[in-house]
Amino acid sequence: MCGTCLLLVFVEALINVLSGALSLAIFARAIEAWIPAARLPFGLDALVVSVTDPLEGPIRRALPRLGEVDFSPFIALLVVQIGATLLLRVLPPAV
């Protein structure tokens, strides 16, 4: 396999792993917000907040509140999935 092909495969895998990890962090933060007793062990709460806040914060400020429902995790998941899909489509195919 050529060096460029390996690089493309690596970049594709990296995009998939990062989008999956970010989606998992957004999901964990949403569950933690919905269930007050649900706390992540080993201080992972702070990690999840620091990873998701740059994406969810602006969305939360832009969206109007609909009672007690916060739609920012849903919108953030959509942004992550659409962004990953667009990045993967821009990459040339690794043969």
Terminal Cα distance for the chain, rounded: 9
Closest CA to 32 of 18, 19, 51: 51
pTM for the complete prediction? 0.85
Instruction: Count how many residues are written for the chain.
Output: 95
Pairwise CA distance, residues 70 & 9, whole Å: 37
Question: Mind listing the pLDDT tens digit for each residue in 6-21?
Answer: 888 999 999 999 999 9
pLDDT, one tens digit per residue, over 26-71 is 999 998 888 877 777 888 888 999 999 999 999 999 988 777 888 8
